[in-house]
Structure 1
């Protein structure tokens, strides 16, 4: 057994309590993404499925900076892309085109994250998967895919469906000349995989700038993937950052 036995999954007495938990984590994810420089103008969105209305998901409102998002700002969208709860009806059309088909196609996925982080969008221009060059990168070994061709801003359902098909049952996809997208069984997991994948892109770009990285062999990379790439690991590691951002920016819970 590994460290998973030390991690306790949260338990909720009511669906309202679970909904608030998810929304707080989602607001915290936006604050963290801003802190790490993953905000890029109007681009970027993270979603989490509602625990009661499971065809609906919570998402950030359009044109609100990640650093300013509070729990009360989040918007609930139904399976048709219509806002059913929130202070505004303005939601990024790309968020609907990308996230709606993901939530429909992957009942195991409760959350998805996509932004235009610097290193992710830089790596996405190379048309390559990440290599298992270190332990952290092994979390994505044989668990991410790539769309090599860029077809413009994702406003149409056809492009969203292409992302779904390319993602398959994996945790991440590199969108060619665009950026990264990650998913998870919780918003904590999806957000952590995005943070980690962005850093893995940075690490490989740095390594290749000075030489040819030595790869971890297949068997060891596969074993390590099962250890560091497990859902519990993503959730636990995000929660460390969540505790930090709540302490630094407690207003996000408003």
Structure 2
């Protein structure tokens, strides 16, 4: 009996990649249920961007692909504060830039960037973009995250610097170039601009965005204090295997979801 228990592993570890007791991905009885879930999490992510100071005027947008019409995506509307967006304010946009559901216009930058990411990255169910202080500061010196702690290792060999700045992103060609440079990576840091993260769910994409920005802050602070001492490749890969786990990213957002829904329940209003 002792041998069987040892073979099965420690009883305190769950049967997940990370060994953590993480919940499985939600399953839905209908496409409408899946759509409501995605829209609720998207609205919550937008509110969280507002709460944590990621707003910069009209800049910044988050999207999630519609579970039924894969050539359409839900995104926060142009001209509505992150702090005020509700489920009912979200708009559905097709690949021609037409708003097919919702009462607000679409941010041109949101269309050209998100449409091409969703089009060229079938695995990118969601994308998050913002002009945050720490990401912009890191981009200003042309540096990506280095694996100086466990959290930053989540992006080890999974990020890219985009320095082809041509002004505000309002052309289809520029949106395509951004998506092509992102390629299969999790994060793209745009020099003179901001940050984009993607994921297999809006929960995951938002979590990677929050983590990247805090890691940028840590790196900037550490670099100002002394010489950075990154992990070895072996250490970085081991840390990425845990902290870069997609299931962990999705579950981590759930904590923020619980927080913001309790604080701002009006975000769930549908009309």
| TM-score class, shorter | over 0.9
In the alignment, the residues of structure 2 paired with residue 3 and residue 188 of structure 1 have an alpha-carbon distance, to the nearest angstrom, of 20
Matched, 1:31 2:47: yes
Indicate conservation of the 8 Å contact 1:149/1:177, yes or no. Answer: no
Indicate conservation of the 8 Å contact 2:204/2:253, yes or no. Answer: yes
- Out of 13, 20, 24, the position equivalent to 1:8 is 24
Matched, 1:176 2:197: no
Q: TM-score of the superposition, structure 1-length normalised? A: 0.97
1:84 alignment counterpart? 100
In the alignment, the residues of structure 2 paired with residue 178 and residue 54 of structure 1 have an alpha-carbon distance, to the nearest angstrom, of 28
Indicate conservation of the 8 Å contact 2:50/2:82, yes or no. Answer: yes
1:49 alignment counterpart? 65
Indicate conservation of the 8 Å contact 1:124/1:175, yes or no. Answer: yes
1:40 alignment counterpart? 56
Matched, 1:127 2:142: yes
SS of 2:160's equivalent?
strand
Shift of 1:3: 3.4
2:249 alignment counterpart? 234
- Out of 127, 138, 143, the position equivalent to 1:112 is 127
Larger Rg: 2
Point out 4+ residue stretches in structure 1 off by more than 6 angstroms. none
Cα distance change, pair 4–15 in 1 and its aligned pair in 2 (3 A): farther
In the alignment, the residues of structure 2 paired with residue 28 and residue 18 of structure 1 have an alpha-carbon distance, to the nearest angstrom, of 15
1:213 alignment counterpart? 228
1:19-43 alpha-carbon deviations (Å, 9 max, x no partner): 0000000000011011110001000
Cα distance change, pair 57–4 in 1 and its aligned pair in 2 (3 A): farther
Q: TM-score of the superposition, structure 2-length normalised? A: 0.91
Matched, 1:145 2:160: yes
Aligned length: 253
Shift of 1:170: 0.8
In the alignment, the residues of structure 1 paired with residue 55 and residue 87 of structure 2 have an alpha-carbon distance, to the nearest angstrom, of 18
SS of 1:6's equivalent?
coil
In the alignment, the residues of structure 1 paired with residue 106 and residue 93 of structure 2 have an alpha-carbon distance, to the nearest angstrom, of 9
1:20 alignment counterpart? 36
Shift of 1:4: 5.1
- Which runs of no fewer than 5 residues in structure 1 stay unpaired? none
